[in-house]
Every structure is written in C-alpha cells, then in structure tokens.
Amino acid sequence: MNKNTVLSWATLIMIFVGLALIALGAFRYDEVAGWGFASVGIGFFANAWVFNALKGRV
C-alpha cells in the first residue's frame, strides 16, 4: 500500500465514523451530549476533507 491508498482508507474510515457520531447525536442522545457528538462528527468530516486534499501531495 502506498501513501495515497493509506490516505484514501483513512478518509473513508473517518467519513464512516463521522456519520456514526452524527447519527448518535441525532437519534440516541436528546440532551446536550447529542450536540457534542454531532460537533465531533463534523470535526471528523473536516479531518477527512484534509486527508483527501493531501492525496498526491505528501
């Protein structure tokens, strides 16, 4: 596996984890903790976007 493949897998995994965290925040927790889960999920999306942008440049 080269570096672009590793970044692709990391991006895919982070998207899945971000979706899972947003789903937990939306459907499982009705209190303030739900907002925290959703914001961390959005942070995972931001990191996945950075990993995707780094493909071919690192």
**Domain map of the chain by residue range?**
3-54
The pLDDT assigned to 52 comes to 86
The pLDDT value given to residue 20: 95
Taking the C-alpha atoms of residue 17 and residue 12, their distance in angstroms, rounded to an integer, is 9
Contact call for residues 22 and 36 (beta carbons, < 8 A): no
What percent of the chain is helix, strand and coil (3-state, nearest 5)? Answer: 85, 0, 15
Q: How many CB atoms lie within 10 A of CB 58?
A: 9
Residue 4: its pLDDT value, please? 87
The residue ranges of the chain whose pLDDT is under 70 are none
Q: Taking all residues of the chain, what is their mean pLDDT, rounded to a whole number?
A: 90
Say what the pLDDT of residue 3 is.
85
